[in-house]
């Protein structure tokens, strides 16, 4: 089953060198989530031939322009294409006013419902949950209220070992086996012992998006052991004081967090316009956390089960 | 002296086939004006290597998203680059609220002053004037309040014929000749007859931007005889009823207006996403008004003096 992160934008506050502002698409088991929606995100979706019709949930980390200015254009396009599905928007306070003000002056009434979900400052909270996925906020440290997002698959059921499927087994009995239970006969005796007919559940995958933030060690216990961490690395260490002043991170700081949290893989993004060449960003992270990669426009990162 | 229109976006409401929403740069005698500012206009400026630092006046035709959604990103970028010049924004009611709401939630206080100028419905009015240029609104017919913009050079001074410049002529006397006056001696007699020392003034050039609008013959007398007309041509005639319903124009209608107004040249833009191939748009305009061209991303149109 799918778990894929597609990068639509890798740029920091200003677009530069063809890099676009922050936006990502996260596909988990055929659910499509968007994280941040910087300017021209809809053009990036079109360019990468990614369907935006199936996006029902958009998570906005914070209300700096490079993280949400593409949202209004995407909403207008969805409207023009006669979208009918509800669209859920998750954001700190203000996005509802920003969107509704613009709808009012354009005299537009979207063809679909927009449902605003307000995030709270410094809160860890599950803000989305269905039968397979949860999304949880990660408190970040930035100039304005800002949250990261932790996507987790829920624990999965055991898999039926098809080579060991008893003839005549009932659907309800298969469901019991998937839940990890033994199947009993009418006398209460074990008829099919679970471990004889099942394989272990596939692992539940996880992805955390942390941007924008100063280095924030309080997140470490929350993201401990996850599969994939996207952490902003606006600057290299030569600009560490600038990072401190603006509450951004260096690549080395991102790597330190990845190491402390013992994640499997680290992605770096949100690069300052001062860097044309991003090699120094990657190179300073590597010695601290070797399994690191730049997250650039069009890159796809698939997590294996 | 320069008079150049650069096309940043040729698309209608939805970006498509790499076409961007409406935005243009107009350079007149080293003044830089922007007309409309669709999403990703700042990226287009960067891509075309056009300086946006020198833009001091931005004219927004109306508050449909495809005409202004790039403005906030451009303002943030100007701020990040420590702009100090005032920025003048011309728009129908609402833009001030849209901008200030977003500045408030991002907790940003721009490094420069933003001065809002409100346009009024159905009004022809000079909204900008300096020693060389005027900009006048053109009432358009669209679903919401919408204005076109007419850029005119003011009448120019006569040119001194350098081959016929008398030895010892004073600067004040040259200024008199440029104004078209004869230069008199102390007795009130003609010393330098104007026509003996001057060449005719160069012509004053003019450009009108009309988008979005249904066919609007009331504009004809206002734009009579101008050098260059940009008129929206969202549809071809096969979609004329759609054009009527949405208060847009067909290419044929744009050509009719150009012909009625006897302009020198017509540019077509604001193309619907339903057209991948724009040839039919151009071809239907040509028989009506032959000096017509599509206005596509990156195209520059220079008016000769």
Tens digits of per-residue pLDDT, A221-268? 999 999 999 999 999 999 999 999 999 999 999 999 999 999 999 999
Residue B270, H or E segment: none
Three-class secondary structure of residue B102 per DSSP: helix
Predicted pLDDT at B51? 83
Predicted pLDDT at B50? 84
Predicted pLDDT at A165? 87
Q: What gap in Å lies between CA A81 and CA A112, rounded to an integer?
A: 11
A147, A138 Cβ separation under 8 angstroms: yes
Q: What sign results for the dihedral spanned by CA atoms A236, A239, A244, A247? A: negative
A26, A54 Cβ separation under 8 angstroms: no
Give the strand pairing for B55-59 and B87-91. parallel
- List, in order, residues 6 or more apart from B59 with CB less than 8 Å away: B33, B34, B35, B36, B90, B91, B127, B135, B149, B209
Phi, psi (5° rounding) for residue A37? -155, 70
DSSP state of A247: T
Q: What gap in Å lies between CA A219 and CA A210, rounded to an integer?
A: 9
Instruction: Decide if A81 and B15 are in contact by the 8 Å CB cutoff.
Output: no
Q: What gap in Å lies between CA B172 and CA B303, rounded to an integer?
A: 31
Residue A64, H or E segment: none
Cis preceding linkage at A212, omega within 30: yes
**pLDDT tens-digit readout, A171-181:** 999 999 999 99
Predicted pLDDT at B270? 98
B37, B67 Cβ separation under 8 angstroms: yes
Q: What gap in Å lies between CA B35 and CA A106, rounded to an integer?
A: 18
Q: B291 CA to chain A: closest CA distance, Å?
A: 32
Instruction: Decide if B46 and A16 are in contact by the 8 Å CB cutoff.
Output: yes
Predicted pLDDT at B134? 98
- Correct CATH for B3-156+202-302 of 3.40.980.10, 3.40.1190.20, 3.60.15.10, 3.30.950.10: 3.60.15.10
Those residues of chain B whose CB sits closer than 8 Å to some CB in chain A are: 13-16, 18, 20-21, 39-40, 42-43, 46-47, 63-66, 69-70, 72-73, 76-77, 80-81, 93-95, 97-98, 101-102, 104-107, 143-144
- Most A CBs within 10 A among B9, B18, B21, B39, hence the mutation to make, goes to B39
Q: What gap in Å lies between CA A148 and CA A138, rounded to an integer?
A: 5
pLDDT per residue as tens, chain B (305 positions):
899 999 999 999 999 999 999 999 999 999 999 999 999 999 999 998 888 899 999 999 999 999 999 999 999 999 999 999 999 999 999 999 999 999 999 999 999 999 999 999 999 999 999 999 999 999 999 999 999 999 999 999 999 988 888 888 999 999 999 999 999 999 999 999 999 999 999 999 999 999 999 999 999 999 999 999 999 999 999 999 999 999 999 999 999 999 999 999 999 999 999 999 999 999 999 999 999 999 999 999 999 98
User: Within 13 Å and on the Cβ side, how many CA atoms surround B258?
Assistant: 32
Distance of CA B240 to the CA centre of its chain: 26
- Compute, in degrees rounded to 10, the torsion defined by CA atoms A3, A6, A12, A15: -170
Predicted pLDDT at B164? 87
- B contacts of A144 (beta carbons < 8 Å): 105-107
Question: Which pLDDT band, with edges at 50, 70 and 90, does A129 fall under?
Answer: very high
User: How many other CB atoms sit within 10 Å of the CB of residue B288?
Assistant: 17
What ipTM does this complex have? 0.93
- Architecture of domain A3-156+202-295+298-302 in CATH? 4-Layer Sandwich (3.60)
Q: Is A248 annotated as a binding residue?
A: no
- A contacts of B96 (beta carbons < 8 Å): none
- A contacts of B76 (beta carbons < 8 Å): 13-14, 64-66, 69
Q: Where are the domains of chain A?
A: 3-156+202-295+298-302, 159-199
């Amino acid at each position: 089953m799918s778990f894929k992160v597609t990068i639509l934008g890798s740029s920091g506050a200003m677009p530069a060198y063809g890099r676009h502002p922050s936006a990502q698409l996260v596909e988990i088991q055929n659910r499509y989530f968007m994280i941040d929606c910087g300017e021209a995100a809809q053009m990036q979706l079109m360019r990468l031939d990614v369907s935006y019709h199936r996006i029902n949930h958009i998570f906005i980390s914070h209300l700096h322009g490079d993280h949400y200015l593409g949202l209004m254009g995407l909403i207008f396009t969805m409207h023009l294409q006669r979208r009918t599905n509800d669209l859920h928007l998750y954001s700190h306070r203000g996005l509802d006013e920003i969107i509704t003000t613009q709808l009012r002056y354009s005299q537009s009434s979207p063809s679909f419902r927009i449902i605003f979900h307000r995030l709270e400052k410094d809160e860890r909270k599950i803000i989305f949950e269905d039968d397979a996925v949860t999304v949880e906020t990660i408190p970040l440290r930035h100039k304005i209220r800002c949250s990261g997002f932790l996507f987790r698959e829920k624990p999965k059921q055991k898999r039926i070992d098809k080579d060991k499927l008893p003839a005549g087994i009932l659907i309800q009995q298969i469901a019991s086996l998937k839940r990890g239970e033994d199947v009993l006969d009418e006398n209460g005796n074990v008829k099919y012992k679970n471990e004889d007919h099942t394989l272990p559940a596939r692992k539940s995958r996880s992805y955390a998006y942390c941007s924008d933030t100063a280095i924030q060690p309080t997140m470490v216990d929350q993201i401990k052991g996850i599969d994939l961490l996207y952490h902003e690395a606006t600057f290299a260490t030569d600009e560490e004081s600038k990072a401190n002043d603006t509450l951004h991170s260096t690549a080395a700081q991102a790597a330190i967090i990845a190491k402390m949290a013992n994640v499997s893989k680290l992605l770096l993004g949100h690069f300052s316009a001062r860097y044309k060449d991003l090699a120094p960003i990657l190179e300073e992270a590597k010695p601290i956390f070797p399994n690191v990669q730049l997250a650039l426009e069009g890159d796809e990162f698939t997590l294996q089960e």
